[in-house]
Amino acid sequence: MSKELRTIVSGSVELVWPNKNLPLHASGATSYTWVEDGDKRLRAPLKVEAFGSTLGPTSNVLVVGDGLDALEALRETPVLAAGIRVVYIDPPFNTQKTFNQYGDSLATPMWLSMMRDRLAALKPLLREDASVWLHLDDSEVHRARVVMDEVFGEGAFVASVVWQKRTTRDSRAAFSSNHDTVLVYAPSGPRKWKLSRNLLVKDEALLRNRDDDPRGPWSDAPFTAPGYRKAQQYDIVTPTGDVLRPPRGRSWYATEATYRDLLAEDRIWFPRNGAGAPRIKLFAHQLRGLVPFTVWGSADVGTNDDAKRHLLEMFPGRPVFDTPKPEELLERIIHIASNPGELVVDLFAGSGTTAATAHKMRRHWVTVERNTQTVLDFTLPRLRQVVSGEDKGGITGQVSWTGGGSFKVVHVAPRFGTLTGVHRASALGAALRDAPLPFVRKRSA
């Protein structure tokens, strides 16, 4: 049997790229470099500057630096001691384009090593019920899934979520791309992770009272279940006199005795003026919630344009961040994957959507952004507005956010290369001194 066939039979399929055996580290302000494992520079401690008081186990932290360096630096603090519940990563997509805030044109081997090393560094810091959400477009998503299989194991794959990021049409393209993909992985595997993830809250505004039930408005669900169960195969007579049996391959939802009890309680509804198949009535207090779909429409979680409008409201007269994500998208991810008080981590902060949303949802957070100018222009002032209660957009109304909480700023300088100009920690320190808005505000009662 050939080596290639043995690899396929064993189920261990590997993506290979140049320098895969070498770790990739941040170098200078924007570059990366492959480093030999024995390089003595790796033994040198990272240069960490914390602006403000000591970091504690419940500190929210904005790290200026590279994600890999940030994880190493924070590992020595109490911030990560309780473990990470959810990671959302929205890295450069490697589109080979240049945006206002960053260049998006790494060579594919370097991009793959960059992602692999940062995912691998996160792995030992995750809680048993953690999940990792990697947001990409079509440029690298096919290779990224193989990398995530390698880091977390193929059995950790949960879903590929498709997000409708735009509603306008690009008539110049062969296909008008209007979606991104979010790869969802849970180290414990989907079956176990399902027991701890949250369902989507059903919108009670969609409940209706179609039969003037004195108990109020209700929703409904089919009175059938998959599979054949002998005790759940019986005749049901509709109000119009039709005799119904379960559809082929299905059973009624409950036994005949339970059905009769529900019917007596006016919990069974027959649509089509009594001629339709039975459905069970569910009132607001009985709604269990909804299992998330894998396709998320713009009407539910917003678009890139919605996110840009939010930033324009916060920073009028300033060129908007090119690729922001809407808070509604992050609200859904954070809701599904965590509970209040748990830790949310983002290694590519950009305009700060993840941290802003997590803060409003009363989670702890760590967010990392390498580009100091982006931090000065967007991430830092945005998070200050969230704390002060000045940010009125995004999910503010949805979660009744009025301000409060706190965060700290840490700068982690890379071991390799030289930082210049605005990327020096001194520029960040000067900005913090010149804008003395408090980082701490008590939430209103």
Q: Give residue 179's pLDDT.
A: 95
Looking at the domain assignment, is residue 173 inside a domain? no
140 shares a domain with 11: yes
Same domain as 235, residue 136: no
Considering the domain architecture, whether residues 29 and 145 belong to the same structural domain is answered as: yes
Q: Are residues 342 and 402 in the same domain?
A: yes
Is 375 within the bounds of a domain?
Answer: yes
In a domain, 298, yes or no: no
Q: Which of 286, 306, 337 is the last residue of a domain?
A: 286
Continuous segment of H or E residues that includes residue 86: strand 84-89
Q: What total number of domains does the chain contain?
A: 2
Q: Are residues 260 and 118 in the same domain?
A: no
- Which of the listed residues 232, 265, 286 is the one where a domain comes to its end? 286
pLDDT of residue 423: 47
Q: At what angle do helices 327-337 and 304-314 cross, to 10 degrees?
A: 110
Residues 335 and 397 in one domain: yes
Element containing residue 121 per DSSP (H, E): helix 108-122
Q: What is the CATH number of the domain that holds 408?
A: 3.40.50
305's enclosing H/E stretch is helix 304-314
CA-nearest of 409, 380, 373, 379 to 29 is 373
Q: How many other β-carbons are positioned within 10 Å of the β-carbon of residue 151?
A: 20
Q: Are residues 392 and 280 in the same domain?
A: no
Look at residue 251 and tell me if it is in a domain.
yes
The helix (H) or strand (E) run that includes residue 353 is helix 353-360
One domain, residues 338 and 231? no
Is 358 inside any structural domain? yes
Q: What is the pLDDT of residue 432?
A: 65
User: How wide is the angle at C-alpha 85 spanned by C-alphas 82 and 88, nearest 5°?
Assistant: 130
Q: Return the beta strands (E) in 327-378 as ranges.
A: 343-346, 364-369
DSSP state of 300: H
pLDDT for the residue numbered 9: 40
Domain end point (choices 286, 308, 340): 286
Owner of token pair 């090593």: 113
Same domain, 282 and 353: no
State how far the Cα of 381 lies from the Cα of 362, in Å rounded to an integer.
19
Which two tokens mark 29? 């302000």
Domain that holds residue 217: 204-286
Q: Return d(Cα 69, Cα 26) in angstroms, integer.
A: 8
Q: Are residues 262 and 126 in the same domain?
A: no
Is the domain of 38 the same as that of 112? yes
Count CA atoms closer than 13 A to 276's CA, side-chain side: 12
- Residues 108, 232: one domain? no
Which stretch of DSSP H or E encloses residue 307? Answer: helix 304-314
What's the distance, CA 386 to chain centroid? 19
Amino acid at 299: A
Of the chain, the end-to-end C-alpha distance in Å amounts to 70
């770790």: which residue's tokens? 23
Sites in the chain below the pLDDT cut of 50: 1-10, 421-423, 436-438, 442-445
The token pair at 94 is 């490697």
C-beta of residue 334 within 8 angstroms of C-beta of residue 312: no
pTM comes to 0.81
